[in-house]
Chains A and B, each alone.
Chain A
Amino acid sequence: MANTKISGLTPGGTILVTDETIINRGGTNYKISGLDTMALQGAGTVNITGGNVTGITDLAIADGGTGASTAANARTALGLAIGTNVQAYDGTLQALAAHTDIGLVVQSGGDTFIGRTLTAGSAVTVTNGNGVSGNPTVAVDIVGLTADAAPAIADDSLLMYDASATANKKVLITDLYAINPLTVSKGGTGVATLTAYAPVFGGTTGTGVVQSGTAGTLGHILTSNGAGVLPTFQASGASANTMVLLQTNTSSTSAISEFNALFTSAYSCYVFIFDAIVPDTDAVKLYCQLGTGATPTYATTLYNWGSTTHSSGVNYVGYSVSDTQATLSNTNASYSISNTASLGVSGEVRLYGAAASSTVVSCTGFLQHHSSSNASSSIASTSFNRAAATYTAIKFYMSSGNITSGKIRMYGVKNT
């Protein structure tokens, strides 16, 4: 085929390619044939280095495209759908991505993260506080607490769990006392109160595990009353013929020293020990009366008494067969009892038949005292008797004024 040079084409002119056309460019021949497809132009060697490609079918992912004609579809096709496959950009995530501290991550501000570590407080221990070596472990540490040697019960509290409220609460130590008394099995007594000064005994089903006894009487000792009965305080010296302290009266400006309801059939004789009985009035005599009844009515007649006293080498005899009381001291007015504090009446008086209604009551005494008029000592041997009665009380007093000080002890001599 002969070559045909095309010249003279004007813009907009047309080259009609009928079969196959060779184009020489720069000395190189290019064959143009079937220009309706790129294949006719050497499809495997087409380089597109400029211009626009539009209106083409969506380029497949395998051909380097996205298989889509929109950005959203392209992200979906690529598995990068925002909100589905990937997070959209976020400043907080960016800050978190930039976070490099070790330990527990804490957001301290809008887009600010820092590392934290659990640290131990009072009564608490922490292991692996920053979580680097394992899970943090928190435990209670009571042993490590400082002991409170002097708890303030009105202010200090204990931690407790209130099951009824399903909540932790605190309890003031003082409120622990408001709880039901601690049982014996728990180390308590099981009772809220006990009788003052009384001993505590084991109890029964009816009384509770612990029960109070009675305080008893001065000088008495605790005595068993057998099985099933509470022990009680009783006069000591239960054995026969022994002397038992029944009562002690300590006078302190007392008008009367009285022993009431202490005469019983358990004793055959009573001994009254006078220990430095000092009157507040000078030159007085020591008197005695016997009484009957629960609230004693004292006999004021028919005291048959007599006394022999010795003082300064002189003996005196005094007596009455029907007096209003018995006189126990020196009956001589000049040798009556001194009120000097360092002196006083000392000695003993013995009483027989006090509680025996069929026996005349009788008394013997041996006392010593001083007289203020001449500072001499008197030794008085005295006695009295009175008609039989069931006497319940005896009282000692001065012929005038009070007894300033001193003691009178009452003993009983146990029957055989």
Chain B
Amino acid sequence: MTKLTKVQNGVVMPLSAEEIIDFNEREALHLVEQAALALVAYKEKRRQEYPSLDAVIVAMMEDQLEGRPEALLEIKGLRAAIKLKYPKPA
């Protein structure tokens, strides 16, 4: 096992027993957090590819007030495709 070290004032030195415990605890916690993050990562990925709120509002206004649904339909299709691309974990 590789010896854990730190650099203090430019000098490399081994971690103390307390620091090693803290290091290991943080690693374990990180694994838990990453596992939890994986369950919701699809949300952020979808959000990044969804059209902006401004584009959605304009498309809705065009559909409701002007009877032009093209933009809204396009957004609906894009949204379905993105959901398919980033499915919610089972």
Contacts and interface: CB of A to CB of B under 8 A. Distances in A.
Interface residues of B, number: 24
B74 interface: no
Interface residues of A, number: 30
B32 to A, nearest CB: 10
Interface string B42-74: 001100100000000000000000000000000
Contacts of B10: 218, 247-250
A256 interface: yes
B46 to A, nearest CB: 12
B9 A249 contact: yes
A284 B26 CA distance: 10
A61 B73 CA distance: 174
B44 A252 contact: no
B1 to A, nearest CB: 13
A346 to B, nearest CB: 18
A281 interface: yes
Interface secondary structure of A, over-half rule: loop
B41 A373 contact: yes
Given A249-B10, A255-B6, A255-B23, A400 B48 contact: no
A251 interface: yes
A385 interface: no
B78 interface: no
Contacts of B33: 333
A284 B30 CA distance: 8
A263 interface: no
Contacts of A250: 7, 10
Interface of A: 218, 247-262, 281, 283-284, 312, 333-334, 373-374, 395, 399-402
27 contacts: A248-B10, A249-B9, A250-B10, A251-B7, A254-B7, A255-B4, A255-B5, A255-B6, A255-B19, A256-B7, A256-B19, A258-B7, A258-B8, A258-B9, A259-B9, A260-B8, A281-B27, A333-B37, A373-B41, A373-B44, A374-B48, A395-B6, A399-B26, A399-B29, A400-B30, A400-B31, A401-B30
Given A249-B9, A254-B5, 12 more contacts: A247-B10, A251-B7, A256-B6, A256-B19, A281-B30, A283-B34, A284-B30, A312-B48, A333-B37, A374-B45, A399-B30, A400-B27
